[in-house]
Amino acid sequence: MSVDNFKTNIYEYLETLPKVTFLRLFEKPATCLAIFRLLPSIGRQIVMSFLYVEAEIQVQDVNNWVNKDGEKMLPEALHKLSRLRIFEQKSSTLTMNYTFRQEFRNALTGGGAQQSFGLPCSSPDKHPVDIPFLDQYATQQWESILHYMVGTSSNKTPSRGVLNLLERSQLMQYGTDNPDTLQITNKGFQFLLQDVNTQVWAFLLQYLNMAEVLQMDLVEVLNFLFQLGSLELGENYSVETLTQTQQQMLEDLRDYGIVYQRKRGSRRYYPTRLATTLTSGNMAIAGAALKNVTAGDISKTAATGNSGAGTTVAAVVDEESEQGFIVLETNYRIYAYTESPLQIAVLNLFVQLQSRFRNMVAGVITRESVRNALIKGITARQIISYLETHAHPQMRKKTPILPLTVVDQIQLWEMERCRLKTHAAYLYHEFNVQADFDAAAKHAKDIDVLLWSNPKKRTMVITQSGHDQVKGFVKRRLNNPRG
Amino acid sequence: DSNLLVIILDTNPFVWAESAKAPHTPLSLDDALRQVLIFINAHLALKYNNKVVVIASHVGHSKFLYPISDDEITKHRISGERNANMYPNFQFVMDQIVASLQELLSNTDVSFLEKDSGTSSMITGAFSMALCYIHRITKNDDLGHIKPRIMILSLSPDSAAHYIPLMNCIFSAQKAAIPVDVCKVYGEETAFLQQAANITGGIYVQVENPQSLLQYLMFAFLPERYARKFLNLPNQDQVDFRAACFCHKKIVDIGYVCSVCLSIFCSWSPVCTTCKTKFAFRPMVPPSPMRGKPSPISK
């Protein structure tokens, strides 16, 4: 679910780019690979199958290739392929974009000279850092931003650039009473409940928007972001292969905790977990207790950062389920096994916390607490998806993950707030003659503007848009009484 | 969902040598390996969490080419040098496979050529290793996120001596819902592998133009289990359902079947060797086409 969220965000952003930008984007194999992974399953299969076929493809052939079940998914896939400019559809044939074809082949074979997958530093670092340090750094940076948003006291205020970004993306706004400090908005509350990947991408997309204004080359920014997604955790990379724009980006990315650089002008940089999981959708930060690669017996390779190897198949699964720390009971009680003040602050938004222990907080979801959250602008859907994504592994084993009673009740509490719907309307009353009233009511019903009528009291309510017509009708009728 | 692809590569050097000299459609191990490596990279490119395992089925034994343990990595002196042009995952996998394969082929025991089993490779051994690996991985995976499948790249003919173990492997794969795909690159049709693909719901392709092996692989064997529901993939019209007899390991069309344990024999015997049931009557004589009247049933 979280994977689809940020994928759709990136996809929507990419759709807005002009064709020329795409042609430049496709020049780097790393970008081709990242964009390829955004496609739906059928789309990916189509690209792979026709990658090495030079001839033009008939659309009819593709239709025949997909069976009945897939017919519904095919048009959407083809649409996405053409919107991302990978394929061009002309009448009945499909042609693959030439640059994309060449560079994607290079991505698969390791050819080309683009060096788009990041050049590791040849000389060893005098001050090497290891993976736990990087994780801690990333968590610290990222959480300081979130802490600032929530308003919990923390020592660091984020840098000028970050504050600027927060304000432009409408997650926070300058308060009316004290114009110096930022206060969180409704959108900001919703942002807090999302998972880390979606949050990071929301920031980055906003950054992209700003980049256009600041005259930074959009293509280079995107290339660098996609390149970050394909780097290895724990490996240090040289800044030699980066352009001016990209080196400038490094500073901004330091503030978000996406890369680590010892000093501003340092010649090497380390991607953190936030960077390596940019395009993968895997949960970025594992929370306070990071249990690193649990397949420790077969993988001493963890230290060298070969986290993509087949040896860590089990670890990948563990990473996902270890994000969960919330246990929700059918009696609305919540137990959250976390010590992080940020998580507790987020929970405080919609849960009435009752007790706090060294490694756990316990609370109850009540009508009051959920109403407070709803008033702040958080929707029931977001509360439920937050609970689902952070559900404890024990909870995940059941279907459905969350107890239905609680889920339904949260939605009902949300619907309670929509008990009244207002329409701007006009009230007609004091008809002296029943016949007049009946005729007017019938006329109003015919033109579909009647909201409510009471024949006994001879009153009716007409919508604002229909008021003029009904008024005209009644006037005409009163002037020409039909006896 | 992560897809785990286990590739069983037939590395019988003798058959590969024949295939490289084939008159119209030569394919040497080098060519094929290049194309298979691109196919593996394509599989890893589909999703960030796709995984691959490569097992070589050699003469007389089978071996994991990837992933291999750390001691072997140092033994083969695989350089950890990174190339900025290649995605790290791809490079890591490719280096290991190439190094292990080189070591495997250089240590081939030539004495196998003299024995009868010279022309067949240890597919059964590799198959069992694949199933054990998949079982180990799925045991840790409570939430069912890992979807395994097996792909066999086969050249050597069937080895009837391994009929029983092979069928056992095929039935285990069927029970575990693991599709087995077979790509026959060179050589004649193999009845047992056809049956394997048929029973487990996999794909069987006899490659007609081996130089374009990559296109066959990308088109038919790349789609993951989820995508297979939506695509029309090559199907077998006729499956060769012949079996091998349990007594002499000959491949038979018509034979005798024990009614208790269903083991197959080419000639009648009073006691079934598998389940030790005694059959105390003399066998029926099959009616010959020349006689006019049906023969009386002997008791």
Q: pLDDT tens for residues B83-113?
A: 777 888 888 888 889 988 888 888 877 666 6
Average pLDDT over residues B260-269: 85
Higher pLDDT among residues B43 and A288, named by residue: B43
| Cβ neighbours of residue B208 closer than 8 Å, sequence gap 6 or more | B25
Residues of chain A neighbouring B46 (CB-CB closer than 8 A)? 37, 44, 48
Average pLDDT over residues A215-221: 83
Nearest CA in chain A to B219: A49
Higher pLDDT among residues B246 and A326, named by residue: A326
Confidence of residue B40 (pLDDT cuts 50, 70, 90): very high
The answer for A 194-253 residues in CB contact with B (under 8 A) is 230-232, 235, 241
pLDDT at A361: 94
pLDDT at B59 > cutoff 90: no
Residues of chain B neighbouring A41 (CB-CB closer than 8 A)? 224, 226-227, 230
pLDDT at B129: 94
Q: Which among A298, A301, A396 has CB closest to B143?
A: A396
Cα distance from N-terminal residue to C-terminal residue, chain B:
61
pLDDT at A311: 35
Residues of chain B neighbouring A232 (CB-CB closer than 8 A)? 88
The answer for A 262-301 residues in CB contact with B (under 8 A) is 279-282, 298, 300-301
Residues of chain A neighbouring B84 (CB-CB closer than 8 A)? 115-120, 241
The answer for B 239-298 residues in CB contact with A (under 8 A) is none
Higher pLDDT among residues A419 and A351, named by residue: A351
Nearest CA in chain B to A232: B88
Q: Do A29 and B85 touch (CB under 8 A)?
A: yes
pLDDT at A294: 28
B78 contacts chain A (CB < 8 A) = no
Confidence of residue A276 (pLDDT cuts 50, 70, 90): confident
Residues of chain B neighbouring A311 (CB-CB closer than 8 A)? 67
Q: Do B91 and A313 touch (CB under 8 A)?
A: no
Q: Do A36 and B4 touch (CB under 8 A)?
A: no
Higher pLDDT among residues B13 and A409, named by residue: A409
Residues B234, B243: Cα–Cα separation, whole Å = 24
For A84-118, the DSSP string reads TTSEEEETTEEEE-HHHHHHHHHHHHT-SS--TT-
Distance in Å, alpha carbon of B180 to nearest chain A alpha carbon: 19
pLDDT at A354: 94
Average pLDDT over residues A270-278: 83
Nearest CA in chain A to B139: A314
pLDDT at B25: 82
Nearest CA in chain B to A312: B51
Q: Do A317 and B45 touch (CB under 8 A)?
A: no
pLDDT at A265: 74
User: In the 8-state DSSP scheme, what is residue B214?
Assistant: H
pLDDT at B291: 52
Q: Do A53 and B215 touch (CB under 8 A)?
A: yes
Q: Which among B53, B84, B231 has CB closest to A45?
A: B231
Q: Which of A397, A431, A191 minimizes the C-alpha distance to B144?
A: A397
For B98-135, the DSSP string reads HHHHHHHHHT--GGGGTSGGGG---HHHHHHHHHHHHH
B229 contacts chain A (CB < 8 A) = yes
Say what the ipTM of the complex is: 0.81
**Hey, what are B143's tokens?**
């939430």
Distance in Å, alpha carbon of A55 to nearest chain B alpha carbon: 13
pLDDT at A306 > cutoff 50: no
Q: If residue A346 lies in a helix (H) or strand (E), which one and from where to where?
A: helix A341-348
Q: What percent of chain B has pLDDT over 70?
A: 88
Tens digits of per-residue pLDDT, A444-477? 888 888 888 888 888 888 888 888 888 888 888 8
Q: By three-state DSSP, how is residue A270 classified?
A: strand
pLDDT at A120 > cutoff 60: yes
Please list the alpha-helical segments (H only) found in chain B: 13-20, 29-46, 70-75, 88-106, 123-140, 163-175, 191-200, 213-216, 225-228
B38 contacts chain A (CB < 8 A) = yes
- Reported as half-sphere exposure (CB side, CA atoms, 13 A), residue A385 has a value of 16
A36 contacts chain B (CB < 8 A) = yes
Q: Which among A109, A120, A320 has CB closest to B82?
A: A120
The whole-chain average pLDDT of chain B stands at 84
Residue A304 contacts residue B73 (beta carbons within 8 Å): no
Q: Do A112 and B85 touch (CB under 8 A)?
A: yes
Give Dmax over CA atoms of chain B in angstroms: 83
The answer for A 454-483 residues in CB contact with B (under 8 A) is none
Q: Which of A36-40, A61-65, A174-178 has the lowest mean pLDDT?
A: A174-178
Tens digits of per-residue pLDDT, A353-390? 999 999 999 999 999 999 999 888 888 988 998 898 88
Residue B69 contacts residue A300 (beta carbons within 8 Å): no
pLDDT at A300 > cutoff 60: no
pLDDT at B36 > cutoff 90: yes
Average pLDDT over residues A33-59: 86
User: In the 8-state DSSP scheme, what is residue A353?
Assistant: E
Q: What angle do CA B139, B170, B245 make, to 5 degrees?
A: 145
The answer for B 152-191 residues in CB contact with A (under 8 A) is none
Residue A59 contacts residue A92 (beta carbons within 8 Å): yes
